[in-house]
Amino acid sequence: LETRRRKTSDFRLILGASNLARLRNERPLVFVRGKGIFLWDEAGREYLEASSSFYCAALGFSDSEISDAAVEQLRRLPFSISAGHRTTDVTVELSERLAAFAPFPNARIAFANSGSEANDALIKFVRFANVARGESKRRKIICRAGSYHGCTTLLAGLGSSRELQQAFGLVADDIITVSQPDLRNALPGESTTEFLARIVAELEEAIVQAGPETIAAFIAEPVSFSAGFVIPPLGYFQSIAQVLRRYRIRLLADEIVTGFYRLGTPMGWQVLDVPCDGLTVGKALTAAFAPMGALLIDESLYDELCTGTAQGLFGHVSTYAGHPLCAAVALRVLQTLERRGIDRHVAAIQPRFRQMLESLRTHVLVSNTRALGLAGAVALKIPDTKASLAMWQIASAVQACALARGLLVRLNGDVVILAPPLIIDDAEIVELGSRLRSALDGARSLLETPERIVMDPTVTHPNRSHR
């Protein structure tokens, strides 16, 4: 704590999803080293990273095979542009390998520098194709409330609260927001089938109301982490795909978090049966050893892009997209995941992960838990005896107590989200569970004197408001 307090006035960094006023006066956590699933801060304290640092570090924080691939590439060819009818060998090789992760044959790949840029480009491509087809009015994007797809001026408005849209002066005219398929929003007495039918009817109503000829695409993550780890009911994606097909609206899958074995299968669309026309990846693609995003599109969309550029140039470039350093890292990550049998490891370890979460269900601050693959959520509740407290107090207390016990988790409103590095082993799952239980116990004690709880704005995702 001493180190954190010392250098305050000259702290120049602006950090997103942070309280800027607090940042001015209080040095944030600064990490200096990592090994396996653990990180160490500048004061020498150890932390177990149970959310893979915003769902990125799939292989943890020290993998010499991946760092070696980076160094080898930097020595051989640090950079050459991937645009203007030129590229590099590793960029080509990665595109060939990535095509196998698409649900459609003959996928075409474009690279980006982040997940946001990949989603932004995918929407841009779809709109371009629509213009090329003579349907320039088809611009609107349907998203689900609480979902997050990125930080650009286009994406920040998707799924976000009206307050956030207004705060950043975002133009939300082209955005249609529908409900999240979150069974917690089912009406009293409503069955899963009835709930699903209602959600699908709501989508169709929204399409008809907005005018189908104005809608370009529907974007969704197979499981929405930002909306509180929402696993849709079985058949959800198949049912909405039918509606979308009827109105010729493309279904885009955002696999930036769910891609690359997080949910147990190579991609999230495989476990949730998402028949998408295009998808985006990022985060675990490079296991976070380098920044990279990518979009995979089906052949029909690619054909339309070709038609649109028949007379000239496809006017989309991003200087570092497809950077050979990132491509070499991603290639080695994909090879490593396969060679080490990460799918078998996730399959073997996920029952333990699920059991660990389920063992927390009886805790007074827990309403329920859910898990899929190596991702899971602990939904918090306000204890009956503390009915006067607000959810932000519970969440802030849990976050503070987790940090104090060397545990890094994501808190989204009333949900603690866990997505540890895929390399986590049995003993580390036990350790994670014990730190989390201790954090919940600590929070319960802290709630005895709620005036001591400091509001932590990081516990709310910008897209979600406290419930």
Residues that bind ligand PLP (CB under 6 A): 54, 114-116, 119, 148-151, 221, 225-226, 254, 256-257, 282
- 59 or 155: CB nearest ligand PLP: 155
Residue facing ligand PLP at closest CB distance: 115
How near is the Cβ of 120 to ligand PLP at its closest, in Å?
A: 9
Q: Indicate the SS3 state at residue 139.
A: coil
Element (H, E) at 220: strand 215-220
The distance of closest approach from Cβ of residue 128 to ligand PLP in the complex, given in angstroms and rounded to an integer, is 20
How far apart are CB 20 and ligand PLP at their closest, in Å?
19
Q: Which is nearer to ligand PLP, 110 or 394 (CB)?
A: 110
3 state SS of 400: helix
Crossing angle (nearest 10°) for helices 342-358 and 324-339: 80
Q: Which is nearer to ligand PLP, 159 or 308 (CB)?
A: 159
400, 456 contact by CB (below 8 A): yes
Rank residues 267 and 443 by Cβ distance to ligand PLP and give the closer one: 267
Nearest approach in angstroms of CB 329 to ligand PLP is 15
**Nearest approach, Cβ of residue 161 and ligand PLP (Å):** 16
Rounded Cα distance, 442 and 302, in Å: 54
CA dihedral 152, 467, 457, 153 (to 10 degrees): 10
Spatial contact of 210 and 176, defined as CB atoms under 8 Å apart: yes
Q: How far is the CB of 322 from ligand PLP (least distance, A)?
A: 16
Judge contact between 266 and 341, C-beta under 8 A.
no
Q: Which is nearer to ligand PLP, 257 or 294 (CB)?
A: 257
**Whose Cβ is closer to ligand PLP: residue 82's or residue 412's?**
412
Cα–Cα distance, 165 to 280 (Å, whole number): 23
Tell me how far, at minimum, the Cβ of 13 lies from ligand PLP, in Å. 17
**Which segments of 44-126 are extended strands (E)?**
46-49, 108-112
Specify the residue, 198 or 316, whose C-beta has the smaller distance to ligand PLP.
Answer: 316
**In this structure, what are the phi and psi dihedrals at residue 166, rounded to the nearest 5 degrees?**
-70, -40
Contact between 138 and 214 (Cβ < 8 Å): yes
